[in-house]
Structure 1
Amino acid sequence: MRLIGFGRCGALLLLELFAALIAASGASAAALENVSEIGPSLIQCWHPPAAPDGSAVTLRFGFRRDGSLMGAPRVTYISVKGGAALERTFADSAVRAIEQCSPLQLSPRFAATIGGKVYVMQFSILKRQPVIRLMYA
Structure 2
Amino acid sequence: MLRRIILCLTLTFVLAFAAISAADAQSRRQIDATPFSHAPCRVLDGQPCTPSFCSVFNDGPCIPEIDYPYGQNLQLTIESVPPKDQAAKYQKPDHDLDNIGDLFAALRSCWTPPPADSAREGMQISVRFSFKRSGEIIAAPRLTFATAGVSADTRATYLKAINASLDACKPLKFTDELGGALAGRPIAIRYVDNRDLGKQAEKP
Scaled to the shorter chain, the TM-score interval is: 0.5 to 0.7
Structure 2 counterpart of 1:120:
188
Q: TM-score, normalised by structure 2?
A: 0.44
Structure 1 counterpart of 2:153:
85
Aligned pair partner of 1:37 in 74, 85, 102: 102
2:185 and 2:150 mapped to 1: Cα distance?
34
The structure having more radius of gyration, on CA atoms, is 2
Q: Could you say which structure has the greater relative contact order, defined with CA pairs below 8 angstroms and 6 or more residues apart?
A: 1
CA RMSD of aligned residues (A): 2.4
Give the SS at the match of 1:44: helix
Cα deviation, residue 100, structure 1: 2.3
1:103-118 correspondence runs (5 A): 103-118=171-186
Q: Give per-residue Cα distances to partners, 1:53-104, cap 9 Å, x unaligned.
A: 3211111100011101111111111127763322210121112212221111
What is the total number of aligned residue pairs between the two structures? 102
Aligned pair partner of 1:69 in 137, 147, 162: 137
Equivalent residue letter for 2:164: R
Give the SS at the match of 1:110: helix
Equivalent pair of 1:78/1:91 in contact (CA under 8 Å): no
Which structure has greater strand proportion? 1
Equivalent pair of 2:120/2:154 in contact (CA under 8 Å): no
Equivalent pair of 1:59/1:74 in contact (CA under 8 Å): yes
Structure 1 counterpart of 2:60:
none
Provide the identity percentage. Answer: 25
Q: Mark the runs of 5 or more structure 1 residues left unpaired by the alignment.
A: 1-27, 130-137
Structure 2 counterpart of 1:53:
121
1:104 and 1:76 mapped to 2: Cα distance?
23
1:37 and 1:56 mapped to 2: Cα distance?
23
